[in-house]
Structure formats: C-alpha cells, structure tokens
Amino acid sequence: MFGEVAAANSLSDVFAKGGRPRVALNVVAFPLSCEPIEVLQSILQGGQRKVIEAGAILAGGHSVEDREPKYGLVVFGEARRDDIWRIDGAEEDDILILTKPLGTGLISTAAKVDMAKAEHMNAAVESMRRLNDLPLKLDDITKSYIHACTDVTGFGLAGHLFNMLSSKGLSAEIYTKRLPVIPGALEYAEEGFVPGGGYRNRKLYAPQIGGLDEISPAEAELLFDPQTSGGLLLAVHPEGSEMILAACRTSGWHDAAAIGRLIRGDGEIAVKTQP
C-alpha cells in the first residue's frame, strides 16, 4: 500500500496536466539496518503495479540508505501541446469539480496514534491508491470543456484553489455541503486530530477566505487538510460540467462532486453552505 499510494501521488502530476505517463524511475531511501529487504521489495512491487496500471514503463531508478523509508517516482509524460491542462486557465462562471473526497490528512493523523477506525483508514487508503488517470478516460470533446486543473495535495483544497485563481482576476465560491468527505474525517477533525500541515495551511490561507465563521470548525479543517494523493480539482465550462461528472462517476470516481464556481474578483474564496 505504501508503494501504491506513493506511486499514485507521483503519477498524479502528469495526469493533472491532462497528460499520459510514459516512463517512471524509482527514487528510494531505505533503512537497511532496521528493516528487512522484503519490506523494500514489497514497496517497489506496489509502485510497479501502479506504473503498469497507468500504462507507463518503469525503467529503473536510484536508491540510497537512510534512517527512514522514503519512496516516490520521477515521471515523464506527454500531452499534445494544445491540450495541456494549465493551472491558470480557469474562466469566470466555470464550475469547480473535485474528483476525490477530502480527509486523508485528518484520518492519517488519527491513525498515527491508533485512534482511526479500520474502516475509515481503509477508505482513505483506497482513495489515496486510486490513480488520477481521468485524462485517459475522456474523449477529446469532453476534455475540451476543462479550462484548468490541479491536483489537491499538501496545500489542501484552499491552497491549490488559490493557485488556480492567482493570475486571472477571479474569485471562488465553495459550497461546504457539497464537499465529498472520506468517512470519519469530520469526526477526527472535531476530536482535534489535525496534522501540522493543516495548521500551516490555515495560517496561510484563512485570512483570504470569507465565511469561515458561518461553518463548523470541522468543516473548515477540510479546506486546509493536506492531502496525500488527493483528487483533481477541475475548472469546467458550465455546459460540460454534468458531462464531466458523469464521466468521473462512470469511471469509478463515485465521490466526484461540483463543489463551487468561479466569479469575477480579486483572488479570494467565499465559503457558503449552499449555492
């Protein structure tokens, strides 16, 4: 699972550009003095499974000995120049679609102190190991409705959405009741299992978000929760939003949801419970 999640997270950067992974290289640090080599073999096998699932070739890599295990991929991918999804291509009135549920940071933090229920951790792992290979599932017409894309990872939903707004004179409305959530995540937020990255993200981004006092503290944590192998955040032309959602759900992203929209503004986010 470690290898699968790490590989899915690495491959996501190519998928977030609308691309197709072609070649991947392992990057490994491993503590041979305290972990058996079979553990490393299992991690690499998990990564290889995801590379193959993505339709790419695993062509070796590089390893060093370290005090804690680290694993990821360098990924080379391709996309047609005119079809690359950019982070700054969003337009006014675009619908924001999120393909995976939020909460991996909260659940992982609870798991580190053995406070996460098995069914909640299993749901988080299943989400994290899922490839973001949406570009491979869409035809050219459907892809043309997507104006911008980013994957939601360490800066949380808020941080990555701010990157999408950074250069276009746009603001965003987010509807918290529409946010897809991994089971248990809100419960752990209420109990205070907030990762360090969540606190940093809140400090950075909360001053630019309106309406936080109108939602629960747990719901607010979802905006700042750092994700591992989170979903794609898409800015989609309104005429294509239902088509994109249908394609996501048909292809297995059953939690995909339209979570907000883009409006003319100065790069701020307004949080609302409903449209």
Q: Can you give the length of the chain in residues?
A: 275
**What does the pLDDT read at residue 184?**
97
**What does the pLDDT read at residue 167?**
74
Quick: pLDDT tens for 159-192. 999 999 987 799 999 999 999 999 999 999 999 9
Which amino acid, residue 274?
Q
CATH level 3 topology of 2-81: 60s Ribosomal Protein L30; Chain: A; (3.30.1330)
Domain 85-272 CATH (choose: 3.90.650.10, 3.90.45.10, 3.90.110.10, 3.30.300.30): 3.90.650.10
**What does the pLDDT read at residue 129?**
97
Domain boundaries, the chain: 2-81, 85-272
**What does the pLDDT read at residue 125?**
98
**What does the pLDDT read at residue 82?**
87
In the sheet with 146-151, reading across from the earlier edge strand, the strands are 146-151, 232-236, 95-98, 257-264, 170-175, 269-272, 209-210
Give the residues of the chain that fall short of pLDDT 50: none
